[in-house]
Structure 1
Amino acid sequence: MTELAYSTVERDLRRQHFAVLATADATGRPASAGVTYGIAPSGAVIYVMTRRHLQKARNIDTNADVFLVVPVPRLLLLPVPPATIQLRGRAETLDWTHPGGREVFGSFWLGRRIIKSYEQLHARGDSRVCFLRIELDPVIHTYLSSEDGDRRSTEQGSESRG
């Protein structure tokens, strides 16, 4: 298996803000949802903003194990399915005022729009707004195109995180 530098994977993670988040309830029944995410400066934590009553947050409250799939579009090959980055981690729900989540979501345009919409919901009395904080496992699986156009499957451990 070819190794890919974590910096390459992290660059692609930071360029995207959409992922599919998979969770499971206490009995192991799976569920998935598309989410907007932001990655912390460390590269080891991802934040998602949501509401506590939604299934993903309820599932995380009973089973912290999560899986994310981040599609990475191939700009020159639009008809070809996107490459993907697959991430495992453990999640927790945090208050919507959590400084780390607000900092990450405040760092990109869509994140700022999401914060603003949730601030409006909160002003109207919705107290269910929260962040999901996902601590990523140190091994990341990905299927990205290499510089020369060859596909490769990779695993990269935490020792490459700088």
Structure 2
Amino acid sequence: MSSQKLQALVRKTISKQTFCTIATSSAANRPHVAGMLYAETGGKLYMATLESTVKARNVRQNRNVAICVPCRRYPFSPPFTLQFQGTAEILDAKDPHIQDLIGTGRLKAITSLGEAEMEGICFIVVTPGRRVATYGLGLSLMQWIRSPLHAAGSVELS
């Protein structure tokens, strides 16, 4: 698959999925990984969480994060994945940017149950780095079956 086609597939996959794991690290380099629902808009991932969570505390101490987006393609195989590093920031639920995104429905995937009105809620906003590592994505089923150990790749997003 050409680099341009893989770039398009990566972008499409990130925008269509709604679940990821986010890895954060405290100022003392204590790692933490959590599963999160997300909404992608404008090339960024938005996640709702409580101010009191470990992940929110860690992002305040260390903005560097890693994201893994699983994407099931075949029911008999493990999910394919996209992984990337990025920088994160915490935005208050009342932030005008967040309110605009909620008002236009772009955060519906993570606010449809009233999360934005909950006491103590905030939003983690992740700006992905340019390099995205892939596993399985962009391969045919036969390519993956023949060599699952060689199913990893990467692409630079422009």
- Relative to the length of structure 1, the TM-score reads 0.80
Unaligned runs of 5+ in 1: none
SS of residue in 1 equivalent to 2:27: coil
- Greater RCO, 1 or 2 (C-alpha within 8 Å, sep 6+): 1
Q: Deviations over 1:82-132 (max 9, x none)?
A: 000002101111111334445179336532414x1341x2xxxx2x21111
SS of residue in 1 equivalent to 2:130: coil
1:8 aligns with 2:17: no
Write the distance in 2 (CA, Å) between the matches of 1:85 and 1:97: 31
1:13 counterpart SS class: helix
Q: Secondary structure, in 3 states, of the residue corresponding to 1:139? A: strand
1:7-156 matches, within 5 Å, as: 7-41=8-42, 43=43, 45-74=44-73, 77-102=74-99, 103=101, 106-107=105-106, 109-114=108-113, 116-119=114-117, 121=118, 126=119, 128-146=120-138, 148-149=140-141, 150-151=143-144, 152-156=151-155
- In 2, Cα distance between equivalents of 1:110 and 1:28: 31
**Cα 1:5–1:100 shift into 2, 3 Å:** farther
Identity among equivalent positions (%) equals 27
- Contact 2:41 / 2:106 at 8 angstroms: preserved in 1? no
Aligned-residue RMSD, C-alpha? 2.3
CA distance in 1, matches of 2:66, 2:54: 15
How many residue pairs get aligned? The number is 148
Distance, in Å, in 2 between the alignment partners of 1:90 and 1:145 is 24
In structure 2, distance between residues paired with 1:70 and 1:60:
19
Q: What is the CA-CA distance between 1:5 and the residue it aligns to? A: 2.8
The residue type paired with residue 48 of structure 1 is M
- 1:38 positional shift: 1.0
Deviations 1:46-102 (A, max 9, x none): 11111111000000100111011110012xx31311000002101111111334445
Shift of the 97–143 alpha-carbon distance from structure 1 to 2, 3 Å rule, reads same
Unaligned runs of 5+ in 2: 145-150
Distance 2:156 2:60 in 1: 27
SS in 1 for 2:123: strand
**In structure 2, C-alpha distance between the alignment counterparts of 1:134 and 1:86, rounded to whole Å:** 13
Q: 1:109 to 1:131 in 2, by over 3 A?
A: closer
